[in-house]
Amino acid sequence: MTMKSRSKDVLLMAVGAAMLLVVMLVALHFQRGQSPAEQLAFKARRVDLVERIRLALALASEAEKSAVLAVTDEDSQKYADQARAATAEVERGCKELGELLQAGGTANEKDLLAQFSKVFAEFQRIDRDLLVLAVKNTNLKAYSLAFGPAADALQEMDTALSRIVTKSAAAPEARNIALLAFGAQIAAQRIQALLAPHIAEESDPKMDELEARMTKEDQTVREYLDGLAKLPEFIGDIDLETATSSYAKFNKIRTQILALSRENTNVRSLAISLNQKRKVTLLCQDALAALQQAILQEHIAGVNYGAPSNPR
């Protein structure tokens, strides 16, 4: 090796040693070079920042629950936006806190922040899925159809069939007409009674079972209406046409209800909120509490947190 090469190596080593010294001096500045008042202020700043993160996290969780429980799309969207804004505030706080800990935090504090960040990533993942579901409100829309237009259509059908029974009371076929009309009414009402359990149901197999029962009752309604239509006195009868068209309207709405019910966004979002989201929120808060406690327990020379060391 030439003298020139050795000199170059020595120079590189000297530069490296100088850079290491600068880093050590910066660390010592925060750990030892600050006055007790400066160290207390730095500690207070970090503790306050953790508290702000905890508050933003709580606000995000509260807004998410409001989005899940809201009864209109507008309110659900409003609360979902609030939840996302609060979550973004948590992200900003974590970034700022990370910079402060890099400047003067302990290794334990950095580890605790890393633990929180990992759990918070899961919090965000769950929230993304949950809030998308919450704003759709498919179950609420299904209920609205079931107890609104669908119920109205069946009421029109019932009224028309009741008129048929009344005006046929003196006819030779009165008993048979009444059996067919009432049979259609009862089967249609059974279908209606199965809609609410279907909307509330979380399990697909159970929804399949409910739909199979609806299909069976639907066949019964159609058979009874066809039976009335085959009687000579009801050819072109306006009441029978009304009953048939009203039932067709009900079935069209029922198809919409079942499709919305199958999406199950309100049921699914509520289940996620009460289970996965609640658990991960508690883990996040526990991690932040541990981090805050670690910062509070930092020792500052010359600062006495408890009773006098030599009480008389």
Q: What is the DSSP track for 195-227?
A: HHHHHH---HHHHHHHHHHHHHHHHHHHHHHHH
pLDDT of 92 > 90? The answer is: yes
Asked whether residue 188 falls in the same domain as residue 89, the answer is no
Domain with residue 165: its CATH number is 1.20.1440
What is the DSSP secondary structure assignment for residue 298, as one 8-state letter? -
Token pair, residue 149, equals: 């237009």
In a domain, residue 2? The reply is no
Asked whether residue 52 falls in the same domain as residue 131, the answer is yes
Q: Note the pLDDT of residue 42.
A: 87
Kindly report, residue by residue over 18-64, the tens digit of the pLDDT. 444 433 444 444 444 567 777 788 888 999 999 999 999 999 999 99
Helix axes 36-69, 265-272, angle to 10 degrees: 150
Helix (H, G, I), strand (E, B) or coil at 19: helix
In a domain, residue 270? The reply is yes
pLDDT of 6 > 80? The answer is: no
Residue range of the domain that includes 188: 138-263
Give kind and range of the element (H or E) at residue 138.
helix 138-145
CA-to-CA distance for 229 and 240, rounded, in angstroms? 7
In a domain, residue 26? The reply is no
CA-to-CA distance for 204 and 202, rounded, in angstroms? 7
CA-to-CA distance for 211 and 206, rounded, in angstroms? 9
Q: Which sign does the torsion angle of CA 271, 277, 282, 285 carry? A: negative
Domain with residue 65: its CATH number is 1.20.120
Number of domains composing the chain: 2
Q: Note the pLDDT of residue 297.
A: 87
Kindly report, residue by residue over 107-164, the tens digit of the pLDDT. 999 999 999 999 999 999 999 999 999 999 999 999 999 999 999 999 999 999 999 9
Asked whether residue 256 falls in the same domain as residue 169, the answer is yes
